[in-house]
Amino acid sequence: MFGITINLGLLGYFKYLNFFITNLNVLVNGNLYLEQIILPLAISFFTFQQITYIIDAYGGLTKEYNFLHYTLFVTFFPQLIAGPIVHHKEILPQFSNDTNFKLKASNISVGITIFILGLFKKVVFADHIASYVNPVFSAAENGIMLTFFEAWMGALAYTFQLYFDFSGYSDMAIGLARMFGVVLPVNFYSPYKANSIIDFWRRWHITLSRFLREYIYIPLGGDRKGKVRRYINLMTTMLLCGLWHGAGWTFIIWGGMHGIFLSINHAWKVIVNILFPHRKSNFFIVTKCFGRFITFTSVIIAWVMFRSEDFNDAFCMYSAMFGFNGISFQEMFTNGIIGNAKKGVLILFSMLVIVWFLPNTLDWLRGEKPALGLNLFFTKRTKILIWKPCMTYSVFLAILFFMAVINISKYSEFLYFNF
């Protein structure tokens, strides 16, 4: 209990104390003041890793007690900044195996490949898409009335920016670790291909979802204490998930929105099982297509709250997105806040094709077992677009690396600074 209190106390001080004081001043009309606290990078990630170890050690579930290995487990730099939130059962046994510390050509080639793909996603895709995101949300912050098209363009662009940013960081972490002979768990697996919100959270920030499920949702009672308690536990967990992402009410509301989405999804599954106990294959095809569309749209709408600085900004975006400022499809072909509208539509459509229909990095390298836990996602094997060390792929990766390097000098936004 002492160790958990110390870890949560430090996290609360650095990340949430200013947020608490600001809201307390509003509540009691006070004037308490505290100097801006500099947030240690990645404090949320390594705090959760230490908490999992402490809880499992108390429960007698840990087997590795080498202090040097534990320190390396907490500070292992490839995954320290943006995850994944590794579990001690996955990493500490690898540190105990001396053969993992020997450089291997196979690990270097696989690691460099994954790292280059992640770097390309981050600096070419994500940072370029940001040019369509920032003008729209800045306009909302300044109270400028957005058009229907501008708002949806900004929201969709942020949806893809965050996707490629997080996907890129996850790939770079896995790639760097693999160069050192360490295999990290999968943390990101094509979440926009999800056919439901439940499926989305099985694919998006997988290690965070695991922590929330095993160390918050299940200890609260999970689904073992009745249906009403299940939804309360689910909502509580997602509100805490939102708070983990940032010290702000927009993050908390974002978590609450996903808590509502998940509750509806679970309730819908119960209704479908009752109404359609003998479902046919064509039923699944229709529901999957419809489910993917509904899921993707719901995620976009929630991301607006996640990205907005405050409720006024989010309201400005939602007003335009839901047509309260009028709808005109001519906007798609006229330049405005986003600049070249036609180019923007083409780029975002290309991003949609990539995230919906192309294999992800881990699919491409599935033959090399690039990450832990992939057996949960690989349902069938195909030889199409499977990576192998050869001249063709080497040239392809060299081109991607060159394109990434020449774009590194440009402005790059670190989306995970608040985490």
Give the model confidence (pLDDT) of 345-357 as tens digits.
899 999 999 999 9
Cβ-Cβ contacts under 8 Å for 332 (sequence gap 6 or more) = 149, 341, 342, 345
pLDDT for the residue numbered 79: 85
Enumerate the active-site residues: 245
Tell me, rounded to whole angstroms, the distance of Cα 152 from its chain centroid: 21
Written as one letter, the residue type at 378 is: F
Cβ-Cβ contacts under 8 Å for 284 (sequence gap 6 or more) = none
pLDDT for the residue numbered 246: 87
What average pLDDT does this structure show over 26-41?
Answer: 80
- Tell which wins on pLDDT, 64 or 286: 64
- Tell which wins on pLDDT, 146 or 284: 146
- Each residue of 5-25: pLDDT tens digit? 998 998 888 888 888 888 888
pLDDT of residue 415 exceeding 80, the answer is no
For 157-209, give the DSSP string: HHHHHHHHHHHHHHHHHHHHHHHTT-PPBP-B--GGG-SSHHHHHHHBSHHHH
pLDDT for the residue numbered 390: 83
Local structure of 40: helix, strand or coil: coil
pLDDT of residue 331 exceeding 70, the answer is no
Q: In what helix (H) or strand (E) does residue 400 lie, and over which residues does it extend?
A: helix 391-408
Q: What is the DSSP letter of 416?
A: T
pLDDT for the residue numbered 66: 86
Q: Do the Cβ atoms of 204 and 188 come closer than 8 Å? A: yes
Q: Do the Cβ atoms of 51 and 87 come closer than 8 Å? A: no
Distance CA 300, CA 351 (A): 14
Least confident range of 81-90, 125-134, 213-222: 81-90
What average pLDDT does this structure show over 132-140?
Answer: 92
pLDDT of residue 381 exceeding 60, the answer is no
Local structure of 336: helix, strand or coil: strand
pLDDT of residue 416 exceeding 70, the answer is no
pLDDT for the residue numbered 152: 93
Distance CA 220, CA 236 (A): 9
Dmax over CA atoms of the chain, in Å, equals 68
- Tell which wins on pLDDT, 101 or 71: 71
pLDDT for the residue numbered 153: 92
- Tell which wins on pLDDT, 396 or 80: 396
pLDDT of residue 200 exceeding 90, the answer is yes
pLDDT for the residue numbered 113: 95
Local structure of 30: helix, strand or coil: coil
